[in-house]
Amino acid sequence: MRRIAIAFVALLAAAGWLPTASAEPQAIHRIRWFFSDAAAGRAAPGSGIPFTLPMHWTSGAQSGLRAVSMQGGFILTQVPTGTWAVLISGSSEGGTVFVNGHFVGAVPAETAMRHVAWHRPWLFAVAPSDLIAGDNQLQIRTRYGPGAHALAGITVGPLDPLWDRYTRAEFFATTWNWIGAATALFAAVVAFTIWTQRRDKVSPLLALASGFWLVHAAARVIEVMPASAQAAAEAAYAGGYAGFVAVAAIALLRWRHPVPRRIEWELAAAIAAGTGLLWFENLLDFPSIGDAALVNLAAPIALGAWAAVAIRSFVQSAHDAESAKEDLENRVREREQLLKRNYERLRESERLQAQSHERQRIMQDMHDGLGSQLMSSLMLVERGGVSPEQFAQILRESIDDMRLAIDALAAEDVDMAAALGNLRFRMEPRFRAAGVALSWDARTLPAEIPLHPDMVLPLLRIVQEALTNALKHSHARAVRVTLAATPGEKPDTGWLDIRVTDNGQGIAPDRNAGRGLLNMRNRAQKIGAQLRIDTEPGRGTTIALRMRFEKDATAGLRMRTTAPLNTQAIIEQVRRANPPTGSGAS
C-alpha cells in the first residue's frame, strides 16, 4: 500500500500537480515536543506534545535545566540533486539538529555553567544523501533553563533561496542591532553636545533614551555568558527597553501635553515598571519583519530621526543666532558711524571754540599788555615833558611786552623753560649795562612743564615785572632767579616755584602797594598761583611765585574772556595810576 501511495505521489508530481524537490522552501508550522534525558539525549516515551510555530514558553526558577527534543516533518516527492538547508529563526536556545537521524549541525546550548540567549538565525546545510522521498523527519535536541524562551520558525528547502532569507534575517537580527547601537551612541553624543550649548528640555531626554537603548542593544550582543550573569543580562535587556519606552513617553508628553514634572516621572516609572514586568513574563508579542521585532527595527530609526530633528533645530538656532549677531553688528556699525559723525562734528565744534578762545586770549593779552602800555605812553606824550630817553624807554617796554606776548603765543610749540630762557636772553643785556649781576638757577627744572597757554603770558609778565622792579628801584648789585619743580600730592600733578631775589634796599612800606606789585598780584590770582613778597629794608626783596600744574598738557585754567578793547576805560585807568607829578618804585 505504501508503494502504491509513493507511486501516486510521484505521478502527480510528474504531472505538475505537486511541487518537486526543487520547489520553494517549506515552512514547518507544527512540531512535537518530547522531554528527554538530559544526560543521554534520548527522548522520553510518549507521543509528545504538539505545538504550533512560532512559540514562546517560560520556565520557572525551580524547574532547573530541562532537555527536550522538538520534532517536525516535511515531504519530498523525490530526493533532490542539490544541497538543501534547514533555516531556524528566532530561536533563543541552541541545540543539535538532525535530519532523518543524520547530524547536520549544532549550536551551543544551555548547560549548568553556561547561559545562552541567541537572537540570530541559524542555517545548516543538508546533503542530498540525508534526504529521502516521502516523509522526512527533523529533530532539534536542546536544553533550556529558567526564563523566557522562543522558537519563531523552521524552514527547509534548497540552499540558495534559504541563504537569501538567512542573510536578510541575519541583517535584521545582528547587523541592525549594531547599527542601532551606533545610532544610539551618536544620538547620545549629539544630545549631550546640544545640551551643553543651550540647556534645553528635550536634549537630556534624547541622551537618556539613547543610553537606555544602548544598554538594551549591548545586552542583545552578548549571547553566551556564564550562568551567574543571566539575571544581570536579562535585567539589562528588559531594563534598557523599559527605560527607552518610558523616556520616549515623557518626550511625547512634553511635546503634546506639558504636565508638571512630578507627574511626568510618576508616569514614566509606571510605564517602565509595567513594560519590564511584561517583558520578563514574555507577554509582549510584537509584529515582526524577517523574525525581527518591529520595535528593534523602529527604535534606531526613531532615535536617528530624533537626533536629526535636534541637529536641525540646533543648526536653525545657531543660524538665527548668527543672523541676530549680524543684525546686531550692522546696528553697532551704524551706531559707530553715527557716533563717528557726531564725534567729527564735536571735534569741529571744539576746533571752532578753540579758535574763538584763542582770538579772545590774544585780544585779552593785547588789552592787558601792549594796548595798556601804548595808551599809557600816549597819555604821557600828550601831557608833554617826555624826554627822548624816556620816550625810548617807553618804546623799549612796549617792544618787550610785544615779545613777551609772542613768546606766550608760541608756548604751545615751545615749552615753558624755553619761554623763560627767551626772557632771560632779553633781560641780561640790560642788567649787564646797569652793572647788576643776573644769575639763573634752573637745575631742578624739568625739560618740559605742561602749562596751559593761558597761564604762560601772565606768568612771564609776573617774572618780567619782578626783574624790572629789581633793576629800576632796588639799587641791588645782584639778582638771582631760581626755577624749580616739585611733585604734587597726586602722581599726575606738580608745583612750579619761581623766586626772584635781590640784595637791594628793599621796598619801603609806602611803596608796597605800587602799581607794578598790584599787577603781579592780580595776574597771580587770575591764574590761580600763590604770590608772596618778602622784603626787608636794607637787605633786599624776594618775590616767590608758586603755581600748581598737571602733567596733562590740556589741564590749566581757562582765563575769562573779555569784551573788545575799551580805550576810554584804559585812559581813565592810566590817569588814575599816573598822576601828573611824582615817581617811585612800581
pLDDT at 276: 63
What is the mean pLDDT of each successive set of 10 residues along the chain, which is 586 residues long?
A: 45 41 78 69 62 83 83 91 90 90 92 86 93 93 85 91 90 85 86 81 81 85 86 81 79 70 71 66 49 68 80 80 87 90 88 76 64 66 69 70 65 64 82 87 79 78 86 86 86 87 82 72 87 86 88 43 42 50 41
- 184 in Cβ contact with 211 (< 8 Å): yes
Examine the domain organization and report whether 568 and 426 are in the same domain: yes
Examine the domain organization and report whether 177 and 166 are in the same domain: no
Q: What pairing do the DSSP bridges indicate for beta strands 292-293 and 55-59?
A: unpaired
pLDDT at 565: 41
Beta strands per DSSP E along 23-133:
26-28, 30-35, 49-52, 55-59, 66-76, 84-89, 95-99, 102-107, 114-116, 122-126
Indicate which CATH number applies to the domain containing 92: 2.60.120.260
Within 8 A by CB and 6+ apart from 264, the residues are: 250, 253, 254
User: 144, 170, 196 — which closes off a domain?
Assistant: 170
Examine the domain organization and report whether 112 and 199 are in the same domain: no
Residue 7 in domain: no
Examine the domain organization and report whether 45 and 132 are in the same domain: yes
- 73 in Cβ contact with 138 (< 8 Å): yes
Residue 359 in domain: no
pLDDT at 138: 95
Examine the domain organization and report whether 139 and 250 are in the same domain: no
pLDDT at 216: 85
Cell triple for 491: 602722581
Residue 289 in domain: yes
CA distance 512 to 514: 6
User: 248, 283, 314 — which closes off a domain?
Assistant: 314
Residue 159 in domain: yes
Residue 348 in domain: no
Examine the domain organization and report whether 133 and 190 are in the same domain: no
Residue 334 in domain: no
Examine the domain organization and report whether 33 and 128 are in the same domain: yes
Residue 2 in domain: no
Residue 383 in domain: yes
Length of the chain: 586
Examine the domain organization and report whether 464 and 529 are in the same domain: yes
Domain that holds residue 425: 369-577
Indicate which CATH number applies to the domain containing 399: 3.30.565.10
pLDDT at 511: 63
Examine the domain organization and report whether 135 and 186 are in the same domain: no
pLDDT at 432: 86
Q: Provide the number of structural domains found in the chain.
A: 3
Q: What pairing do the DSSP bridges indicate for beta strands 95-99 and 288-289?
A: unpaired
User: 141, 170, 199 — which closes off a domain?
Assistant: 170
> What 3 state SS string does 344-357 have?
HHHHHHHHHHHHHH
Examine the domain organization and report whether 288 and 189 are in the same domain: yes
Dihedral sign for Cα atoms in the order 107, 110, 116, 117:
positive
Examine the domain organization and report whether 419 and 306 are in the same domain: no
pLDDT at 561: 34
Examine the domain organization and report whether 156 and 223 are in the same domain: no
**The model's pTM:** 0.51
CA distance 299 to 241: 10
Exposed/middle/buried for residue 61 (C-beta within 10 Å: 0-12, 13-18, 19+): exposed
